[in-house]
Amino acid sequence: MLLIIVFILIGSISALVISLSEDDFMFNEYIERTVEYEQIYMMSDLAFEAVKEILKNDNSKVDYYGEFWSQNIIIPIENGKINIQIVDQERFLNPNYLVNLDDTVNQKYFSIFERLFSYLNIDERVLYNIIDWIDKNSQSDGGKEIYPDFVAKNSKIDTLEELLLIEGINDKILYGNSSSSGLNLGLNSVLSPYSNGKVNINTASKWVLMSLDRDIDEALANEIVLYRKRKYFKDIKDLNLVEGVTGDIIHRISGLVDVKSENFLVNIDITFGDREYKMFLLLNRKGKNIRKIWQKVY
């Protein structure tokens, strides 16, 4: 009997030791993770301050490729590195501007998107679906308002990924794909919900430039891109220095374009030991004032 009791005690003590060891391991792992996340957030703050200084010291009256902010920036840290890419959002078109504040369709932007969708071989019905997703009313303007599991948002688009909820938009249309005919651009290459609505002619792709006006064809858009590689545009009127750009074109697009950017999406990759983290910052710059709109860490 005594022997049985001894075995039971030994078994209980062993189980307790194992349990305590597991708890101790989990506790230590939790502490290590907590400390590591604290370090990551400290590094993300460091990256934010670095980007803030870069944009603050930059000339906010004009933005173009070749400036320090537009290059890949690497900050070495102990046991890792911080890789920073700053992407101005005014190089893109903002789908939210398809709808005016009074809930009417913005005809200038509608024409721009018609041309864009034609270049990207996207069905025009998708354009109407986007409009009905954004406008505040629940009546169809030619697009879809009622979906099997939900209704149209009837509000502004917050992220590009949200477009996947809209009928007619799939991964290939949003992100692009490769085919036998070459690379097909996705909407993520030309759209952003974070821009101020005015396209920066110093940073916009040729596809965005072509969409701005009916008389800017691919050849002229290539000329604009080629010219700005040699000399960036200090003013919208500088476009007339590009052969083929007429005064009529400049007049028609004058309210749609600019030579500077206001919003910047910052992609930050943090390598720390054998772990990798990704962080996104959306910043707004007005003069020397840099404001953080939001921050996400993955």
Condensed to tens digits (0 to 9), the pLDDT of residues 183-220 reads 789 999 999 999 999 999 999 999 999 999 999 999 99
Instruction: Report the chain's terminal Cα–Cα distance, integer Å.
Output: 59
Going along the chain from its start, the domains and CATH numbers come out as 2-90+262-297 (3.30.1300.30), 95-191 (1.10.40)
Q: Compute the mean pLDDT over every residue in the chain, rounded to the nearest whole number.
A: 88
Residue 243, sorted as left (phi over 0), alpha (psi -120 to 50) or beta, turns out to be beta
What stretches of the chain adopt beta strand conformation (E)? 73-77, 80-88, 177-179, 182-184, 199-200, 257-258, 263-272, 275-286, 289-297
* Per-residue pLDDT tens digits for 262-286: 999 999 999 888 888 899 999 999 9
Q: How far apart are CA 245 and CA 73, in angstroms?
A: 35
Burial 40-61 (b: 16+ CB within 10 A, else e): beebbeebbebbbebbeebebe
278 forms beta bridges with 269
**Tokens representing 189?**
């290459």
pLDDT, position 172: 94
Q: Is 115 helix (H, G, I), strand (E, B) or coil?
A: helix
pTM of the model: 0.86
pLDDT, position 80: 86
* Per-residue pLDDT tens digits for 145-193: 999 999 999 999 999 999 999 999 999 999 998 665 667 899 999 999 9
pLDDT, position 253: 98
Provide the greatest CA pair distance for the chain: 106
* Per-residue pLDDT tens digits for 19-36: 545 555 554 555 555 666
**Tokens representing 27?**
């506790």
